[in-house]
Each structure stands twice: as structure tokens, then as C-alpha cells.
Amino acid sequence: MALSITNLSKQYNAEKTAVSNFSLTINKGVLGLLGPNGAGKSTLMKIIATISKPSGGSLLLDDIDIVQNPNSIRKVLGYLPQDFGVYPNLNAYEFLEYIAAMKGVGGKGLRQRIDLLLEGVNLTADAKRPIGSYSGGMKQRIGIAQALLNDPKVLIFDEPTVGLDPEERMRFRQLIADLAQDSIIILSSHIVSDIETIADEVAIMQSGKLITHAPQHEIIKQAEGRIFEVLLNNSELNAFKHQHKVIDTARQADQIKVRYISTSGSAAPSSIPVTATLEDAYLFLTQNNS
């Protein structure tokens, strides 16, 4: 199974082009979508989920045109939108039964499937109380469960880890790893380390365009030899920030340890090269394109 996006564009109005000439082929496994605010990630995900129509270009699931035949993907789609709304008076069971009815999922196995999903997102103990009383992270977890109701083959998660604590993040990662065996999973996150631990491949978007798409280790490779650390005095930091792109700072005794990108490739005196992470590469690549 493959999702082929070719020359996709979305123009909301005369001034705003949210997605521009975007082409990408997505196969089974997890694709992490990264990009700064307003890059067009949610717009792209809405188009794939057939919530929004593109202004141009094509989208094929295998060889079926999903812009012309949205129902063909809806049957196999699970989608967690960024602004996922819940029905506060329903409990988790009632809510999932309601979504199942809307998706046309039913039959004898439904109750069992709901039980399994609630267990998967660790909500079994809270399944009988109204969703309105849930915390933000619990609401997010019921959102994840509803996306999985129809045993989807294409899963789209827009910022799924928002509000999840570290333990729930880990549980989510495990759930995704299990599902990735035979589904296409696309997920966006502002938390680069989440993408780093979940995604096989990474696509970076900026200003509606695709900057790069590759297996994670190849993206990281693009920043190798550019990332350094140096110890500075407090008084040196401001001037240093004007010359280099600072990624992170940490106090160390009476000095500051600064992690930075050297765009020119040459490092400041006394710097030591460090191994690049996905976050370093993401900052390096988006900086180069801004």
C-alpha cells in the first residue's frame, strides 16, 4: 500500500497558500511530519483525511484517486485532528459507540474492540465517567482510541502527544510501533524527540513546501559536522548569539555550556564537535530555508 501525493497545493484565499507544489510517496511505517508553526502540516493532513479539498495536484491511495473518491480512503482511515472535540456528557464507552456508528463499524466484536482500545490507551478504569470530567491528556487518549476504531490502514495523527505525560507518551509509542507493521501512519508533532523515537522516515515542511524527506538517520547526517558545544562566560553569550544559531544553553558552574549550529562549518575557538540529533538537524535545515 502506498499514498502518492503529487504537486499538491492548497490556497485558502488570494493571500494564503498553505501547501505549495508538495510531492511525496508514503509507504507502510511511520512518517514523522515536522515543521514550524504555520508550515502547512495540519492543512496537508486534512487534505489526506478528505476533510479539505486541495486546490491542485493529485492524491492516490495505490491507484485510486482519493480526491475524486474520498469514500475509498474514509473506510480505511483513522484521523485524530489537532482540535479534537469531545462530547462532554458521554462516557468513553458511549462516545466510542457513537463514533463507531458514524464510521459504520458494528457487529458482535464491537464491545470487545472498544474494551481493547480503552485498555490500549489506559482508560479502562475511567471508561464510565463523563468525558467532560477528563484531563486534557485523557481527552487526547480517547481521541487516539476513536482513530483506531475501524482497524485503519491509513492513520493520521495531528499532534497526538500534546498533553500526554512521559508514561503515556511511551504507551503511545508502543501502540504506534504495533500498528506500523501493516499501516501507513503519518504523525505531526512539535516535540522533535517524540518524532525521533517513533518515526522511521521524516518529512520537514516549511512555508507550505517540502524541504526534505528521508529516513531519519539520513536527515541527521545532513547536520553532522555542524553541531558544536562551547563554554562561555555570561557576558559573552549575547555577542555569540549574533554570530551563531544557539540551540540550547545549560549552566555549568560559573559558565554556560552552549550547543550551537555553525552554518559556515567552522567552529568558534575552544568548541568541541558533538553528535547531531534530529532536533539539531531540524533546526539546521529549517534555518537554511528561512
Ligand X SMILES: Nc1ncnc2c1ncn2[C@@H]1O[C@H](COP(=O)(O)OP(=O)(O)OP(=O)(O)O)[C@@H](O)[C@H]1O
Binding site for ligand X (CB under 6 A): 12, 16, 18, 35, 37-43, 82
State the nearest-atom distance from the C-beta of 203 to ligand X, in Å: 12
State the nearest-atom distance from the C-beta of 271 to ligand X, in Å: 32
State the nearest-atom distance from the C-beta of 283 to ligand X, in Å: 15
Whether 101 and 150 have beta carbons less than 8 Å apart is answered as no
State the nearest-atom distance from the C-beta of 82 to ligand X, in Å: 6
State the nearest-atom distance from the C-beta of 158 to ligand X, in Å: 7
CA separation for the pair 265, 58 (Å, rounded): 39
- Between 209 and 245, name the residue whose CB sits nearer to ligand X: 209
SS3 per residue for the chain: CEEEEEEEEEECCCCCEEEEEEEEEEECEEEEEECCCCCCHHHHHHHHCCCCCCCEEEEEECCEECCCCHHHHHCCEEEECCCCCCCCCCEHHHHHHHHHHHHCCCCCCHHHHHHHHHHHCCCHHHCCCEHHHCCHHHHHHHHHHHHCCCCCCEEEEECCCCCCCHHHHHHHHHHHHHHCCCCEEEEECCCHHHHHHHCCEEEEEECCEEEEEEEHHHHHHCCCCCEEEEEECHHHHHHHHHHCEEEEEEEECCEEEEEEECCCCCCCCCCEECCCCHHHHHHHHHHHHC
State the nearest-atom distance from the C-beta of 37 to ligand X, in Å: 4
- Between 12 and 87, name the residue whose CB sits nearer to ligand X: 12
- Between 39 and 220, name the residue whose CB sits nearer to ligand X: 39
